[in-house]
């Protein structure tokens, strides 16, 4: 049955709110996947499970034109929701704080409209509902299971509350940063605080390491490089009168250029291991790579910029936000498909669309 576009949008808003009530962490998106599959089945769109809790569907399979894919992510974050909205999360300690409920509802809306136009589609359209974007490497699992084997180009989007509704960013090259984490364990010699000369204080040494790490961005790298090094945790539990034997630092890096990853990680390791001996302690550094930078294909980005201009007008592009955004996305896995040894994917594009209304609240039409 053909539905007016406005009816599809209204249904998608309701779906987004329903999904917001039942957030699930990565690789646990059981209820979410069930709802997605129910909506696809109701629309008479064939689907199949992939990557455990993921779902994939293809429209116009027999069409001869260019094959494109539209991708969304479906998992939530381990946060307690305090918004007070009517559709607040019912799951303790879990919230759709990154907007994946809106992403998912948007792709369902697109699926419903495309299904109505299926006979007129020039080429196949693959709909990808990806689990485990939040650190779970869900994109890589879906690629390994063949989600884009027959796809020529893939598009994704991310809502961005910092941008006004009706504006977007869709640059050539890097659009979102790569990331990684690190842990530095500083081991010294504990003892009574009244006898510091008998101790080898890991707290003082770790503090020195924290301060020196700030020099990576300000003194060791060119100012033209977009890099973030943040120490986000400092743990050294002890009694007030006792110097502990160990302190553990942890933090996060962001890089706009994937080639900077090894440089930054090597500097973290060098600073920690070189600073420690001056304090009579030892530093052990662990590096945990996560996602690479999301780098748009210039041809696909230009193609989509033209679409954004037609949809939102000449003022569609927001020029006030710094690009790349230093948040991270595992869409980069799809943009790096040639690294997997597969072939055939020619284009890829991720854009960020504004969803902030005039009152500073995300606008309902943007889901």
What integer is the mean pLDDT of 177-201?
A: 98
Same domain? 234 vs 346: no
Q: How many domains does the chain have?
A: 2
* pLDDT beyond 60 at 16: yes
What pTM value is reported for the model? 0.90
pLDDT tens figures, 251-272: 999 999 999 999 999 999 999 9
Q: Enumerate residues 6+ apart whose C-beta is below 8 A from 142.
A: 50, 51, 54, 56, 128, 130, 148
Residue 354 vs residue 189, higher pLDDT: 189
* pLDDT beyond 80 at 131: yes
State the pLDDT at residue 175. Answer: 93
Full residue range of the structural domain in which residue 216 is found: 177-289
Burial class (CB in 10 A: 0-12, 13-18, 19+), 85: exposed
What average pLDDT is seen over the chain? 92
Same domain? 168 vs 312: yes
Q: How far apart are the first and last CA of the chain?
A: 23
State the pLDDT at residue 366. Answer: 34
Same domain? 113 vs 193: no
- In contact, 292 and 336? CB cutoff 8 Å: yes
* pLDDT beyond 50 at 66: yes
State the pLDDT at residue 97. Answer: 96
Domain boundary among 260, 289, 318: 289
Same domain? 36 vs 164: yes
| Residue 167 banded pLDDT, cuts 50, 70, 90 | very high
**Quick one: tokens of 228?**
């973030």
CATH number assigned to the domain comprising residue 348: 3.40.630.10
CA nearest neighbour of 326 among 253, 219, 276:
253
State the pLDDT at residue 253. Answer: 98
Same domain? 301 vs 346: yes
What integer is the mean pLDDT of 108-133?
A: 97
| Residue 339 banded pLDDT, cuts 50, 70, 90 | very low
| Residue 213 banded pLDDT, cuts 50, 70, 90 | very high
């Amino acid at each position: 049955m053909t539905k007016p576009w406005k009816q599809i949008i209204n249904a998608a808003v309701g779906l987004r709110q329903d999904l917001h009530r039942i957030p699930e962490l990565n690789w646990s998106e059981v209820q979410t996947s069930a709802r997605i599959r129910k909506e696809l089945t109701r629309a008479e769109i064939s689907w199949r499970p992939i990557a455990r809790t993921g779902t994939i569907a293809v429209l116009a399979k027999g069409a001869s034109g260019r094959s494109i894919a539209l991708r969304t992510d479906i998992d939530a974050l381990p946060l307690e929701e305090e918004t007070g909205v009517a559709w607040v999360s019912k799951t303790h300690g879990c919230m759709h704080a990154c907007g994946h409920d809106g992403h998912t509802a948007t792709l369902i809306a697109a699926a419903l409209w495309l299904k109505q136009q299926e006979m007129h589609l020039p080429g196949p359209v693959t709909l990808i509902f990806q689990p485990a974007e939040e650190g779970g490497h869900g994109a890589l699992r879906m690629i390994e299971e063949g989600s884009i084997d027959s796809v020529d180009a893939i598009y994704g989007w991310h809502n961005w509350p910092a941008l006004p509704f009706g504006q977007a960013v869709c640059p050539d090259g890097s659009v979102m940063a790569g990331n990684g984490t690190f842990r530095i364990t500083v081991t010294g010699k504990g003892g009574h605080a009244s006898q510091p000369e008998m101790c080898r204080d890991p707290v003082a040494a770790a503090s020195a390491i924290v301060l020196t790490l700030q020099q990576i961005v300000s003194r060791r790298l060119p100012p033209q490089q977009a890099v973030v090094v943040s120490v986000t945790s400092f743990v050294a539990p002890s009694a007030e009168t006792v110097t502990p034997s160990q302190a553990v630092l942890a933090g996060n890096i962001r890089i706009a250029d994937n080639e900077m990853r090894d440089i930054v990680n090597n500097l973290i390791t060098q600073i920690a291991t070189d600073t420690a001996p001056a304090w009579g302690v030892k530093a052990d550094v662990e590096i945990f790579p996560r996602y690479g930078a999301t780098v748009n294909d210039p041809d696909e980005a230009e193609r989509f910029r033209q679409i954004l201009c037609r949809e939102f007008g000449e003022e569609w592009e927001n020029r006030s936000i710094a690009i790349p955004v230093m948040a991270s996305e595992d869409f980069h896995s799809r943009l790096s498909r040639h690294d997997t040894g597969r072939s055939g994917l020619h284009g890829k594009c991720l854009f960020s669309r504004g969803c902030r209304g005039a009152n500073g609240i995300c606008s309902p039409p943007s889901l």
